[in-house]
Structure 1
Amino acid sequence: MDTHELVRRFATLTTAHLADACVRAGVPVRCAPAPMLPLFPGARVSGRALPARHVGSVDIFLEAYEQAEPGDVLVVDNGGRTDEACVGDLAALEAQLAGVQGVVIWGLHRDTADLRAIGLPLFSQGSLATGPLRLDPRPADALTAARVGDWTVTTADLVLGDEDGVLFAPAERAGELLALAEGIRDTERQQAERIRAGVSLRAQVGFDGYLAARRDNPALTFREHLRAVGGAIEE
């Protein structure tokens, strides 16, 4: 799937829809750590991951930009460090010039006011005034894999971000996951409209029937019941 199609379809979805789609498809739900949020309200990204493992110098980002494709999302692995910022205004401006559509940092940023003025979607775990005061050895996979929380992200992954955070998904399953997410979105919208019209969610999903069935079969889960009736509240 090309970047334009991905961006177009994700524009009507949320990361929550995609996370639920992953559950339904049996794909691991790979969310970035909860503190990783957008720098400004409404920021969204959806594109191929462009990994970069930061070791103390901005040159790793410049080298990543050399191989960037339009619409890529820079994924910076700074080990979740909270003692230094690793991306500032110049790195963001250069990313923008290289066609990178956003930056995701497992770590901190700085130059907040300038970054907001630049407007490039940026997700991080917060900000700090100081940049790195170190220069560590560069690993062999510094431009092919980035660690973000519990997950390793490569160029075979997509990055999807909004105000609920950042999710990583296998690019090869993009079509399937987007289709599932669109179905979940449509079902949830219909359910929400019916609630506003006075039809409770309990009535829509036959909750009394679920409770009765669970009395006969204590092992029955609500998720199994929802799948049977076409509900979408949990996935």
Structure 2
Amino acid sequence: MLKRFTELSTPLIADACVRLGEPLRAAPAGILPVLPGRRLAGRVLPVRHYGSVDVFLEAFTTHAGAGDVLVIDNGGRRDEACVGDLAVLEAGAAGLAGVVIWGLHRDTPELVEIGLPVFSYGALAPGPVRLDPRGPEALRTARFGEHLVSAVDAVFADDDGVLFVAADRVDAVLETAEGISRTERDQARRIRAGETLRDQTRFEEYLELRGRDPEYTFRRHLRRIGGAIEE
């Protein structure tokens, strides 16, 4: 999954979901990699954080598989960092591909040195001082913004953000994203060669057809002529 994603991007994954009619499950804006340019893809290893690192260690011991991505639900909190260098080192030792946090991290220089992809809202020095009661869903599901994810989901992340896709639809989404990517690369090449996007998408023809039929959308037009820019 990660190997195929290295040639793609989250915008392409999002467009593929739209084209296939898959739910578009994007993390809230602002979740970015600690080290710009890093990409991440893998099965979701969900964890809900209650103030202690023990829930991460239990997930690594009882639920983790090689290449999984630790997806941490810290409620989007901005008043504490829930992951630091030791937790990330341990994630790497457990064979995980990376960490995605609905919240904050700390120990930024150490995380950069470790190199395992970590995505979060950003850095904050204080760790948690609370210890909340642990719920029964601690290792089963994670809330990430408005979305609920679990081990039946995959996660994709890069500089443009984070997306979740049902694991059994990943192959179809990746195949569609690859097709969109090929089309867009060809369109970019042709623009650089002097053929405008308006010419490529037969935009004047689109305006004429829309004038005849107000229900004729640009997205429908692109699908008819085989173009790509919106999805």
* Interval of TM-score (by shorter of Structure 1 and Structure 2): over 0.9
Equivalences for residues 4-153 of structure 1 within 5 A: 6-66=1-61, 67-153=63-149
**1:147-170 deviations in Å (ceiling 9; x for gaps):** 011101100000111111111001
The count of residues paired between Structure 1 and Structure 2 equals: 230
CA distance, structure 1, for counterparts of residue 180 and residue 55 of structure 2 = 39
Which of 164, 167, 189 matches 1:193?
A: 189
Look up the match of 1:3: none
Structure 1 residue 9 displacement after superposition? 1.1
The one-letter amino acid of 1:37's match is L
**1:135-190 deviations in Å (ceiling 9; x for gaps):** 11111011010001110110000011111111100110111111100000000000
TM-score normalised per structure 2? 0.98
Matched residue SS, 1:161: strand
CA distance, structure 1, for counterparts of residue 115 and residue 192 of structure 2 = 36
Structure 1 residue 8 displacement after superposition? 1.6
CA distance, structure 1, for counterparts of residue 99 and residue 108 of structure 2 = 14
Which of 192, 215, 218 matches 1:219?
A: 215
Structure 1 residue 41 displacement after superposition? 1.5
Aligned-residue RMSD, C-alpha: 0.6
Equivalences for residues 169-208 of structure 1 within 5 A: 169-208=165-204
CA distance, structure 2, for counterparts of residue 209 and residue 19 of structure 1 = 28
CA distance, structure 1, for counterparts of residue 83 and residue 117 of structure 2 = 13
Which of 145, 154, 158 matches 1:162?
A: 158
Q: Alignment identity in percent?
A: 60
Matched residue SS, 2:45: strand
CA distance, structure 2, for counterparts of residue 163 and residue 85 of structure 1 = 21
The one-letter amino acid of 1:142's match is A
Which of 205, 220, 224 matches 1:228?
A: 224
Matched residue SS, 1:218: coil
CA distance, structure 1, for counterparts of residue 134 and residue 228 of structure 2 = 45
TM-score normalised per structure 1? 0.97
The one-letter amino acid of 1:186's match is R
The runs of 4+ residues in structure 1 deviating greater than 2 Å are none
The one-letter amino acid of 1:57's match is S
Matched residue SS, 1:178: helix
